[in-house]
Amino acid sequence: KVERWFRRRRNTDRPSLSKKFCEACHLFTLSDGYTTVSFLLLQPLLPSLFWYYMLELSFYWSLVFTLPCDVKRKDFKEQIVHHAATIFLISFSYCANYIRIGTLVLVIHDASDCFLEPTKIFNYMKWKKTCDSLFMIFAAVFLISRLIIFPYTVLYNTYYYSMEIFQPFFGYYFVNALLITLQLLHIFWSCLIIHMVYKFILQGTDPLRLLGSTGNTSGMDSFFEVKGSLNTSES
């Protein structure tokens, strides 16, 4: 009876499919809109860049404030670190006039989110083939943008090339520390994605069951709810 009670208690705490679907739709609308704006603002339009920065900053603050109300995640601590580092980077890059590099960081981070949220949406709708295709596209975009473009364009310029222009100061160490923190999180999430792709392609394993997810979603980089084509039942 005790085990049965704990099982029922766990099931009552589990978020419903409709709640997860609405959350994914909400985040897709925001991330897709910000990505579109970012490509329109890759030019010296400071008023427009100001509003772009404010939209991104408000978006990440909203993610922080809604964390207690969102679907529970296994990567909760990583999400907190990611959101905090991103908020500090957005604020400092605008105040220090690092607009170009700051916009590039935002574009790189938003690129993969345009595929992550639709993947989860179609997963909840039981569209297996569409979900699997979007998952593979998302994995490719994430790995290329976070493990290749980000370190070889952003980190290289901020850490090495900037030394040819000015001497190190507080902002240099502060920005690079935050960027390196983001890169470590990128590596952490990339390992999970590569493991999911490997099991999905070679062994046909459902990524959701592989990771033992309890329904964690949301944010730029939560990947545990993406399902394979072999199993569409919710855990």
Query: For position 211, what pLDDT does the model report?
Result: 41
Greatest mean pLDDT range, 25-34, 184-193, 200-209, 212-221: 184-193
d(CA 192, CA 147): 13
d(CA 14, CA 155): 40
177 lies in which domain range? Answer: 19-211
pLDDT, tens digit, 9 for 90 and up, residues 53-98: 888 888 888 888 877 777 666 777 888 888 899 899 988 888 887 8
DSSP labels for 9-48?
Answer: HHHHHSPPHHHHHHHHHHHHHHHHHHHHHHHHT-SS-HHH
d(CA 68, CA 127): 29
Please choose, from the candidates 199, 219, 217, the residue with its C-alpha nearest in 3D space to the C-alpha of residue 209: 199
Give the angle subtended at the CA of 233 by the CAs of 232 and 234, to the nearest 5°.
115
Query: For position 125, what pLDDT does the model report?
Result: 80
Please choose, from the candidates 39, 78, 75, 30, the residue with its C-alpha nearest in 3D space to the C-alpha of residue 57: 30
User: Does residue 185 lie within any of the structural domains?
Assistant: yes
User: Does residue 225 lie within any of the structural domains?
Assistant: no
pLDDT, tens digit, 9 for 90 and up, residues 136-159: 898 899 999 999 999 998 888 888
User: Does residue 191 lie within any of the structural domains?
Assistant: yes
User: Does residue 164 lie within any of the structural domains?
Assistant: yes
Please enumerate in sequence order all residues whose Cβ is within 8 A of that of 90, keeping only pairs 6 or more positions apart, or say none.
Answer: 53, 56, 57, 60, 102, 106
**Token code pair at residue 155:** 């980190």
User: Does residue 1 lie within any of the structural domains?
Assistant: no
Q: How confident is the model at residue 187 (pLDDT cuts 50, 70, 90)?
A: very high
User: Does residue 122 lie within any of the structural domains?
Assistant: yes
Query: Over 90: is that where the pLDDT of 179 sits?
Result: yes
**Token code pair at residue 125:** 């709708």
Task: Give the whole-number percent of the chain exceeding pLDDT 70.
Answer: 64
pLDDT, tens digit, 9 for 90 and up, residues 10-68: 555 565 555 555 555 545 554 544 444 444 444 455 677 778 888 888 888 888 887 77
Mean of all residue pLDDT scores within the chain: 72
Please check whether residue 99 is in contact with residue 49, taking contact to mean a CB–CB distance below 8 angstroms: yes
What Cα–Cα distance (Å) separates residue 124 from each residue in 84, 128, 157, 232? 29, 9, 41, 8
User: Does residue 132 lie within any of the structural domains?
Assistant: yes
User: Does residue 217 lie within any of the structural domains?
Assistant: no
Domain total of the chain: 1
Mean pLDDT of 6-12: 58
Query: For position 150, what pLDDT does the model report?
Result: 93
- Side chain identity, residue 183: Q
